[in-house]
Amino acid sequence: MAKMGKGTNRGKVKGIAGANSRANSGLKTRVKTAKKRKLSSTLWLQRQLNDPYVARARSEGYRSRAAFKILELHEKYKLFKPGMKVVDLGCAPGGWLQVAAKEVQSSHKTPSIVGIDYLEMGAIPGTIILQKDFNDEDAPEKLIEALGGHKADLVLSDMAAPTTGHRPTDHIRIIALVELAADFAINVLAPGGTFVAKVFQGGTEHQLLNELKKNFTKTFHAKPPASRQDSAETYLIATGFKG
C-alpha cells in the first residue's frame, strides 16, 4: 500500500465552539459521561472534539473532515483536472463534492459533477445531487442521465454499508457495495478514466482486484493521513481505464 506520510500535528482542542482557535493549544478535551450517553458515544464525541481535521473542516468551510482525504489523495495522485466529469457515490454530507467542484471548476449552469446518497443533503453549487440508494436498479441509469449521457473521467466512492455488528454479514455487505461501484465505474468511465473507492483492509477480494487489473493499467491502495490510523479504511485507486 502506498504510504502517504504522517498527518499534521494532532493538536488537541477544547470544545467544538473554540475548536479553530484552540486547535493547537495542546489541551485535550475530556467529555464527561452523561447519564443517558453510552460510552461509545462519549468516546466518539471526545475524538471529534480533539480532531484537528474536524476543526480545519469547520474553519475552511468543508461539510466533512472527509474532504481532506480526497484533497490529500489529489495532492499526491492528481486525480482532478479542470473540465472533468465526476461521479461521487455516497456523497453526503458533501465534502468530496465541494473539493471536486472547485478542482474541476464545475459551473453552476452546466454542472459536470453528479453525486448520489440516500441521505438528504443541501445543494452544492456546480453539482447535481440524487437522493437515492445506489443499490436501486435504476441508479446507474439516473446517474448517467444526470451526466447528460456523457462518459465520466473519474468515479469516486466513499460509500460504506451500515454495520450490523455481525462480522461476516458486514464483510459481505462491504464487498458487495465496492463491487457494485467498480462495476458501475467500468461501465461509465471514458478511456483513461480513474476509479477511487473506499475499501477496508483485508476486505478487498482478489476477484475484485483481478477484475480491476484487467480493466485498468494501474491499481494500488493508498491511505491518506486524514484517514484515522486506527481505522481499517483505505482507498483503492485504479487509473488508466482501458475502455
Nearest approach in angstroms of CB 119 to ligand SAM is: 4
Return the C-alpha cell found at 115. Answer: 453525486
* 17 Cβ neighbours under 8 A, 6+ residues apart: none
Nearest approach in angstroms of CB 231 to ligand SAM is: 11
Residue number, 14 or 236, with CB nearest to ligand SAM: 236
CA 33, CA 144: separation in Å to the nearest integer?
Answer: 47
Return the C-alpha cell found at 73. Answer: 489523495
CA 44, CA 33: separation in Å to the nearest integer?
Answer: 11
Residue number, 29 or 157, with CB nearest to ligand SAM: 157
Nearest approach in angstroms of CB 30 to ligand SAM is: 26
**Please, are residues 57 and 68 in contact by the beta-carbon 8 Å criterion?**
yes
Query: Parallel, antiparallel, or unpaired for β 233-241 and 152-157?
Result: unpaired
What residue ranges bind ligand SAM (CB under 6 A)?
63-64, 66-67, 90-96, 116-119, 133-135, 158-161
Nearest approach in angstroms of CB 36 to ligand SAM is: 26
**Please, are residues 56 and 64 in contact by the beta-carbon 8 Å criterion?**
no
Catalytic residue among 198, 214, 218, 223: 198
CA 181, CA 68: separation in Å to the nearest integer?
Answer: 22
Provide the 10 A C-beta neighbour count for residue 82.
9
Residue number, 22 or 173, with CB nearest to ligand SAM: 173
Residue number, 14 or 63, with CB nearest to ligand SAM: 63
Nearest approach in angstroms of CB 228 to ligand SAM is: 12
32 tagged catalytic: no
CA 139, CA 112: separation in Å to the nearest integer?
Answer: 18
- For residue 193, report the phi and psi dihedrals to the nearest 5 degrees: -70, 170
Q: Which residue is nearest to ligand SAM (CB)?
A: 90
**Please, are residues 83 and 105 in contact by the beta-carbon 8 Å criterion?**
yes
Q: What are the residue numbers of the active site?
A: 198
